[in-house]
Structure 1
Amino acid sequence: MTGHGLLFRKLYLLVPLWLFVSCSASDINTPEDKEATLRYLALGDSYTIGESVSASASFPMKLTTKLNEQLDKKTKVDILATTGWRTDNLLNAMEAQALSTDYDIVTLLIGVNNQFQNRPFSQYETEFNTLLEQAIELAKGENNSVFVISIPDYAYTPFSANSDREQISSDIDRYNDYAEETAIASGIRFINITDITRMGLEEPELIASDGLHPSGEAYRRFVERLFPLVRSHLSE
């Protein structure tokens, strides 16, 4: 099977059960005397659920842990993500879940499967805009409560050894450029973590055991960039 064929299997066959997971801060050893005052919604795909790493090693859970350590508050995180999801899959899931509109923080990381499955880029353009609109609505209508995270570059993994790495990176750049421009135009913070994943071949510890997805260490570095912006926003 080719590298793309294996990637397809990874994106569609591994852990397809994460639909909507609600995690309270107490699930990650937060002191019980903190009152639950923050609500966090993480939207995405395998990069959000933390494919091939433990649940606590995913970036939403690491961010939640750090918030609980640094702020005198208890954070409850809801994760709406599944391996293999494109923008349309996420939109459909959001509609089916009838989510509440009182989240203090919403993160969005989506698009790699649009690229991998060769979906028209125009589909991403249209649906990403809709996702941003809905994310703002879910965040109490406050655009500064939404954080868009760039798409990791899977070209820099052993799994893509037989793929056109240069083309993959070029495609990922196109998606990320559009996401950044659109987010900024909407008053939404954009966090670039793609460069971290592009160190994967030089720093193998950044790649999970499946040879494709980011490791817990990579997600830790994602949170190093994301956390200061979230903390600043919550302090406003």
Structure 2
Amino acid sequence: MRYLALGDSYTFGEGVEPAHRWPVQLAHALRDDGIDIGEPRILAKTGWTTEELAVAIAAEQPLGHFDFVTLGIGVNDQYRGHTANEYRAQLAPLLDTAVALAGGRTERLMMLSIPDWGATRFARQEGRDVTAIAREIDGFNDIARDMCESRRIAFVDITPVSRDDGDSDAMLADDGLHPSGAMYARWVDAALPVAHRLLGDA
């Protein structure tokens, strides 16, 4: 099966080896469980907002339909100070595009929540208002969850996982901001049962 992973630095795996990216770990875990899925095609870049990901998809024009699509986007919208309404307006057409890339099958699309970068050593060292970051990210995630539910798209909440020991050396890449492979493995633990449900008829 063809797998397309859409996102930003978290999907790209900033600061980790390619094998430690969470979509790669997820594909390997699915294969270990007997689901015949290929290595993910990753369309993601550090710093991309929701709008920039949409522009990149239009430019790349991924060929054909994919059997499984994952989406993780929105942290850079929050980081750059975009409003909740701006995020909502950009996410709606992006979700429609992702469904189209999944061949119109909403049951083959899975979205991950935005992790809380305010829980990291980077945020603390920069003197950021971690309470405000958490509040804004929770608001963005509420929007994404509601939009996914209305479209019957699976939504995996990895935000609590990102906050659990999220500032420890073992859970962070060298930059103190992005997750390590070990943290991504925790995300995969949360996403794997949902992916199994979506791909169970494959």
TM-score range, shorter chain: over 0.9
What amino acid is aligned across from residue 180 of structure 1 in structure 2?
R
- In the other structure, the counterpart of 2:149 is 184
Residues 65-74 or 162-171, more deviating: 65-74
- In the other structure, the counterpart of 1:148 is 111
User: TM-score scaled by structure 2?
Assistant: 0.94
- In the other structure, the counterpart of 1:82 is 45
Instruction: Note if 1:104 corresponds to 2:67.
Output: yes
Deviations 1:12-64 (A, max 9, x none): xxxxxxxxxxxxxxxxxxxxxxxxxx111100000101111111101011011
What amino acid is aligned across from residue 167 of structure 1 in structure 2?
A
Q: Distance in 1 between the 2:143 and 2:109 partners? A: 16
Q: CA deviation at 1:228?
A: 1.4
Judge conservation of contact 1:153–1:197 (CA < 8 Å) in 2: yes
SS of 2:40's partner is strand
Judge conservation of contact 1:47–1:213 (CA < 8 Å) in 2: yes
Instruction: Return the index of the structure with the highest Cα Rg.
Output: 1
Instruction: Note if 1:198 corresponds to 2:163.
Output: yes
Query: Any gaps of 5 or more consecutive residues in structure 1?
Result: 1-37
What amino acid is aligned across from residue 208 of structure 1 in structure 2?
A
Instruction: Note if 1:158 corresponds to 2:98.
Output: no
Judge conservation of contact 2:84–2:139 (CA < 8 Å) in 1: no
Query: Any gaps of 5 or more consecutive residues in structure 2?
Result: none
Q: Distance in 2 between the 1:123 and 1:72 partners? A: 38
Q: Distance in 1 between the 2:107 and 2:35 partners? A: 21
1:61 to 18, 21, 24: 24
Instruction: Note if 1:132 corresponds to 2:90.
Output: no
User: TM-score scaled by structure 1?
Assistant: 0.81
**Pairs within 5 Å for 1:44-59:** 44-59=7-22
Q: Count residues in correspondence.
A: 199
Q: CA deviation at 1:203?
A: 4.2
Judge conservation of contact 2:69–2:110 (CA < 8 Å) in 1: yes
Instruction: Note if 1:229 corresponds to 2:197.
Output: no
Instruction: Note if 1:215 corresponds to 2:168.
Output: no
Q: CA deviation at 1:127?
A: 1.1
Q: CA deviation at 1:188?
A: 0.3
SS of 1:106's partner is strand
Instruction: Note if 1:168 corresponds to 2:112.
Output: no
Deviations 1:142-172 (A, max 9, x none): 0010001000101111101111000000010
SS of 2:188's partner is helix
Q: Distance in 2 between the 1:96 and 1:210 partners? A: 30
- In the other structure, the counterpart of 2:3 is 40
RMSD: 1.3
Q: Distance in 1 between the 2:170 and 2:11 partners? A: 18
Higher relative contact order (CA closer than 8 Å, sequence separation 6+)? 2
- In the other structure, the counterpart of 1:114 is 77
Judge conservation of contact 1:41–1:79 (CA < 8 Å) in 2: yes
What amino acid is aligned across from residue 84 of structure 2 in structure 1?
F
Aligned-pair identity in percent equals 37
